[in-house]
Amino acid sequence: MKTLCDGQGGRRSSHWRQFRQYALTLLFAAGALFGTSSTTHAQVNDVGQKPYLGWSTFSQQTIDGSFLTQANITAQSDALASSGIQAHGFRYINIDSGWQGSFDANGRPIPNTTTFPDIKALIDHIHQNGQKAGIYWIPGVEEPAVDANSPILGTQYHIQDVLTVPYTAGNAFGGPGTSPCHYKIDFTKPGAQEYMNSVVALFASWGVDLIKLDGVTPGSYSDGLSIDNRADVAAWSKAIAASGRPIWLTISWSIDQDYLSDFLPYQNARRIDDDIECEGRCGTLTDWQRIYQRFRDLPGWQNSTSPSLGWNDLDSLDIGDGTLDGLTNDEKRTAVSLWAMANAPMYLGGDLTRIDSFGKELVSNDEVIAVNQSGKPAKQVLGGEQPVWVSSLGSRTYYVALFNLNATPSIVHLPWNLLGVNGALQVRDLWNHRNLGPSAGTYSTVLKGHSTRLLKVTTFGQAAPTPSTSYEAESAILGGSAVIANCPACSGGDKVGGLGLGANNTVTFNNVYVRRAGVYLMQVDSMTQGLRSYLYSVNGGAFHTLNSGGGSFFIPASTTIPVRLQKGMNTIQFGSPVSYPPDLDRIVVSGNGDAPEPSATVYEAEVATLSGTVTGSFSNYSSGLAKAGNIGGGAGNAVTFSNVTVPSSGTYLLEIDYATSGLRSYFLTINGGTAQELDLNGSTFDEPTYTVLRVHLHAGTNTLRFDNATGYAPDLDRIVVAPTVIGDLLDTLK
């Protein structure tokens, strides 16, 4: 969402959409299984066969309101040309929201001549630097052009002749009724397509190579079809074809996946998330939670991307401005790895005139850029806090990315049988340009917090199939408000919704049978728009968290996580006492009990013991989609974790995910001992940040209490407990 106007509104689902999604799901499944493409596809203009690489203005605009000028963009173009990264494919310069100043005699947007005195000269300069130019606009016609009722170029019609009557909002940035943020065009009226042709022809005459069409609905957190820009996207695509100029078309933002089949013939990419930038809600360009959001959303879109379907756009990469980016170097490398594996357009944010050496290093690694340009978007084979993404290149060759999304170090595992093979003959580390040797059975690596390993592997053998059993949610035990709903694309044709927002609103599978005790893999097929989370419990034990996201309540997305089961029958319950879980299609339990288990344990604050004024409440970017607030300001206002369990006495790593604006303090008491003061700082209550410390725990169950008798404490999202031996091992490997 990059805009001159403010968006608003939530999203709702309607049941009639289910049947059209069934056909869409079959289309994507056919492409995934057989390598086929649909007869209508995204590359109508032949410019999007690979995701583009470049830079966009908006990230810098969020911290410098006077940044968007012709002089500054000229300087950015020159900086890109001289930086050395252009030689690695980064060629697009995108001018985002704010360039427009008024309208010409035909109602077409023209630049603010104070900030952009000669936009064609600017784009000519970009082209002379060997680059391509992008520009931003949104659907509809803005109020000044409507009031002027300008004649439409080459026709007998005027602007008011082609508008929906009564006037209504033309995109997601307007509310119900009339809206100065562009009135809706009725493309059944004569002159409407001609108006669109004239706008794109003007852009083409300047030399524009990319158009970002923002505020597109259904999507952009709009209310279903209340605005509906499907006809607009088709008209823009037809106008691009009529211009005779090859122009990339990206539609934005957070597009509703239920209508992707309508958009597919016309776009080269679609934004699947909201903005990466904090936009004043934190003290930096972005932060870790904005990166983590992409890990949650992408699995739901992984079957909707290819050279024929177009690309999933994850937004800007803010990785070149040092600490101003709001990310550590490990987090920046992790972000680039995810964008590369997703084959997402890679466009930098920030100030290219000040790009640091580490940022240059990240985007100058040709082995990593080759992953992004492979035309083989990855699929997630393991989820949770140590996800693994895999891209098949054919001939038994794969790209593999292993991630650690916790701030504590972790051992991350990939059993090769998840790829259907026995092992790898060759394993190459693409970030470090090193050959690591062969690997059989399971590949394991030690990763620092929020870091990654990106590999290219050549495999051998064919793994024996592992046993699996599917359990339908609609056949499980439903509690409270949980309800069965029709879902043609789901396994069994139904799903269960109405989960969460209460301890009793649950789905319980009470017949999960395994032959022996051990760790199994559990595939969870679920559906959501935006971020949601399950809290699930195995055999009545402690809560575990599965953080999810997606773009549809009718297209199932799969995530596979390890789960420890006892011999015989097991009970697995899904819900959330405090917040919103996704709808649930089914679970599939597979394996022989020998799957790797995470080394760290997560404890959510909202389901700990909350005393005094402390409450658990919704929090969009928090783990579990909730946090505990109102901590401190009195001795009894505390969060107590009474079930922190470790196998042996000793020192452990404790990650604390918290949220505060300014300096606040916890007093941490472990097992009734002396309280330790933790002075923590932050820039927002909206998105958690983290700290990691060492604590002593005894074997078995421990109690950790967070309070502040005299002052206010930060809000608390979760804690993560991990063995120090992993961190110590990392130190020995340096």
> In 10 A of CB 175, how many CB atoms?
17
Instruction: Please check whether residue 123 lies inside any domain of the structure.
Output: yes
Cα–chain-centroid distance for residue 441?
31
Pair of tokens at residue 406: 């916790």
- Helices within 317-372 (DSSP H only): 329-342, 357-363, 366-372
Which runs of E-coded beta strand occur in 461-501?
468-472, 477-478, 483-486, 494-497
| CATH, residue 478 | 2.60.120.260
Pair of tokens at residue 687: 């998105």
Residues 460 and 493 in one domain: no
Give me the sign of the Cα torsion angle 721, 724, 730, 734: positive
Between CA 489 and CA 585 the distance in angstroms is 10
pLDDT of residue 21: 46
* The dihedral formed by the CA atoms of 295, 296, 302 and 304, expressed in degrees to the nearest 10: -120
Element (H, E) at 199: helix 192-206
Instruction: Please check whether residue 14 lies inside any domain of the structure.
Output: no
Residues 428 and 474 in one domain: no
How many Cα atoms occupy the beta-carbon half-sphere of 382 within 13 Å? 28
Neighbour-count burial of 420, counting CB atoms closer than 10 A to its CB (0-12 exposed, 13-18 middle, 19+ buried): middle
Residues 579 and 656 in one domain: no
CA distances from 580 to 119, 154, 273, 482, 486 (A): 47, 53, 18, 12, 20
pLDDT of residue 24: 46
Element (H, E) at 397: strand 397-403
Residues 224 and 312 in one domain: yes
- Token pair 């109020």 is found at 143
Helix axes 192-206, 119-128, angle to 10 degrees: 60
Between CA 369 and CA 356 the distance in angstroms is 19
CA distances from 457 to 189, 334, 397, 435 (A): 56, 19, 6, 10
**What domain range includes position 156?**
41-375
Pair of tokens at residue 221: 């957190």
Pair of tokens at residue 308: 């024929």
Looking at 590, 610, 643, the residue that finishes a domain is 590
Q: How long is the chain?
A: 734
How does DSSP assign 689-708, residue by residue?
EEEEEEEEE-SEEEEEEEEE
> Three-class SS string for 585-651?
EEEEEECCCECCCCCCEEEEHHHCEECCCCEEEECCCCHHHEEEECCEEEEEEEEEEEEEEECCCEE
Between CA 410 and CA 48 the distance in angstroms is 38
Residues 181 and 298 in one domain: yes
Looking at 554, 571, 590, the residue that finishes a domain is 590
pLDDT tens digits for 3-61?
Answer: 445 332 222 233 334 434 444 444 444 343 323 333 334 456 678 899 999 999 999 99
Cα–chain-centroid distance for residue 690?
20
Residues 121 and 255 in one domain: yes
Residues 199 and 265 in one domain: yes
pLDDT of residue 220: 86
Instruction: Please check whether residue 335 lies inside any domain of the structure.
Output: yes
Using an 8 Å Cβ cutoff, are 529 and 553 in contact? yes
Phi, psi of 84 (to 5 degrees): 95, -20
pLDDT of residue 280: 85
End-to-end CA distance of the chain: 41
pLDDT of residue 39: 34
Neighbour-count burial of 687, counting CB atoms closer than 10 A to its CB (0-12 exposed, 13-18 middle, 19+ buried): buried
Instruction: Please check whether residue 236 lies inside any domain of the structure.
Output: yes
pLDDT tens digits for 96-113?
Answer: 999 999 999 999 999 999
Residues 50 and 186 in one domain: yes
Element (H, E) at 504: strand 502-514
Instruction: Please check whether residue 21 lies inside any domain of the structure.
Output: no
Using an 8 Å Cβ cutoff, are 236 and 200 in contact? yes
Instruction: Please check whether residue 34 lies inside any domain of the structure.
Output: no
Instruction: Please check whether residue 8 lies inside any domain of the structure.
Output: no
Using an 8 Å Cβ cutoff, are 646 and 679 in contact? no
> In 10 A of CB 174, how many CB atoms?
27
Looking at 544, 562, 590, the residue that finishes a domain is 590
Between CA 205 and CA 670 the distance in angstroms is 68
Using an 8 Å Cβ cutoff, are 720 and 407 in contact? yes
Instruction: Please check whether residue 58 lies inside any domain of the structure.
Output: yes
> How many structural domains compose the chain?
4
| CATH, residue 392 | 2.60.40.1180
Between CA 312 and CA 344 the distance in angstroms is 6
In 531-545, which positions are buried (b, 16+ CB within 10 angstroms) versus exposed (e)? bbbbbbbbeeebbbb
Residues 60 and 122 in one domain: yes
Closest CA to 53 of 338, 369, 321: 369
Contacts of 398 by beta carbon, 8 Å cutoff, 6+ apart = 390, 391, 392, 419, 456, 457, 459
* The dihedral formed by the CA atoms of 417, 421, 425 and 428, expressed in degrees to the nearest 10: -60
Between CA 574 and CA 2 the distance in angstroms is 36
Residues 345 and 493 in one domain: no
Between CA 157 and CA 138 the distance in angstroms is 22
Give me the sign of the Cα torsion angle 115, 117, 120, 124: negative
Between CA 232 and CA 215 the distance in angstroms is 11
Between CA 140 and CA 270 the distance in angstroms is 19
CA distances from 238 to 79, 192, 254, 482, 622 (A): 34, 12, 23, 45, 42
- Token pair 């969020």 is found at 62
Say whether pTM exceeds 0.75: yes
- Token pair 């559990």 is found at 522
Give me the sign of the Cα torsion angle 256, 260, 262, 267: positive
pLDDT averages per 10-residue partition of the chain, 734 residues:
40 37 43 35 70 97 95 98 97 97 97 98 98 97 93 97 93 72 93 98 98 94 85 96 95 93 94 93 92 96 93 97 96 98 98 96 98 98 97 96 97 96 97 96 95 98 95 98 97 96 97 97 96 97 95 95 98 96 98 94 98 96 96 96 96 97 97 97 94 97 97 98 74 52
Residues 65 and 149 in one domain: yes
Closest CA to 143 of 99, 106, 182: 182
Residues 537 and 659 in one domain: no
Between CA 552 and CA 658 the distance in angstroms is 30
